[in-house]
Every structure is written in C-alpha cells, then in structure tokens.
Amino acid sequence: MATAARIQDRAKKALAPAATADEPELAIYMNDQLALGVLWREIARRSARANHGTDTGAALEEVAAAIVEDVETFEGLMGRLGIPRNVAKPLLAMAGERIGRLKLNGQLKGYSPLSRFEELDFLVMGIDGKLVLWTNLRDHAGLGERLPDVDFDALVERARAQRTRLEPFHAQAGREALRS
C-alpha cells in the first residue's frame, strides 16, 4: 500500500498548522469523526479475528489494516491543523464497541452468520461515511486548498477500494444471515 504511506508522509510534512483550534466547529467535527474511525477500526479488527483463516477474514484483515492507516492519517491531519484531540470521544467509541458485543445475534453463545453480516454491514456504512468525510474536508472545509500536499482524491479512492474489497463478502453474509 504505497499510496497509504505516501498519503501519511504528506500529512506529516507541514511546518505550520493550516488551521487552528479557533475553528471550533471544524474541531468538533474532526473529533467526532476520529471517534467514529476508532469505532470502525475496532469493529474491523474484531471481525477479522472472528473470521480468521477464511477469505472473508483475509479481506477484513486488509481493510482493518487500511482503516488503522486512515485513522493515523486523520490524526496527522488534526495535528497539522492544530486541532486538539478530545481523548474522551475515542474512548467512549471503544467502550461502545465492546458493549455492542453483548447484543443478541440469534445464538446463545458465540459468533453467528448475523454477527458477520452486521459487522460487514456496519463497516460498509462506515467506509461510505469515510468517502463523505474526505470529500467534506476537501471541499466544504477547504482543506484541499489549505493543504494542497494532501491527496484527498487518493483518500477517496482508497475508501472506494476498501468498499469494493468487502462488498462480495457483505453480500454473501447478507444472504446467509437473512435467508435462513
């Protein structure tokens, strides 16, 4: 994933912040999005572990690694912008992910076809949200102009590739879970 490394390197190279914490709405938005990224990262990791040794697991491992890189890239952008991290939001997201494991999944114990489908469904929705996020930052927040060295188009394409990688497994899991 040379593209991911290139994107991260570009995000780390700025000498001065392109924005400041004087932009409270941007700071809130980015902290909320960071919390969601942490939530999706944790779900992707858990789902990859639960499906280890399968084709679905291999796809989830790839996407989980890419989500980790995306979160690191995002944190780098926040640093460049001078936006302080709200430590509580990602912690609450991680706690919410763990609490979410307690939901009923059609079995008394263990992982079920519904578990797999819901995790993939949630990840696909998160990746779709990430497409919107990168576009919002590029266009609406004006970061495409303020941070011209950050390739937001590559970030959008990277999210699309993640979506494409998961889609066949998402579709299969949906058929298995919902047509029983």
Residue 100 has pLDDT above 90, yes or no: no
- pLDDT of 89 reads 84
Residue 103 has pLDDT above 70, yes or no: no
Domains of the chain: 29-101+113-178 (1.20.1260)
Residue 13 has pLDDT above 80, yes or no: no
For the ranges 30-34, 35-39, 56-60, 108-112, the lowest mean pLDDT is seen at: 108-112
Contact, 123 vs 66, CB < 8 A? Answer: no
CA angle (146 as vertex; 140, 149 as ends), nearest 5: 115
Question: For residue range 113-133, what is the model confidence (pLDDT) as tens digits?
Answer: 888 999 999 999 999 999 999
Mean of pLDDT over the chain:
86
- pLDDT of 104 reads 57
Q: Say how far apart CA 62 and CA 167 lie, in whole Å.
A: 13
Total length of the chain: 180
Q: What is the mean pLDDT of residues 24-29?
A: 92
- pLDDT of 3 reads 67
Q: Say how far apart CA 54 and CA 56 lie, in whole Å.
A: 5
* Res. 87 pLDDT band, cuts 50 70 90: confident
Q: Which residues are within 8 A (CB) of 4 and not within 5 positions of it... i.e. 6 or more apart?
A: 66, 69, 73, 158
Q: What is the mean pLDDT of residues 136-154?
A: 96
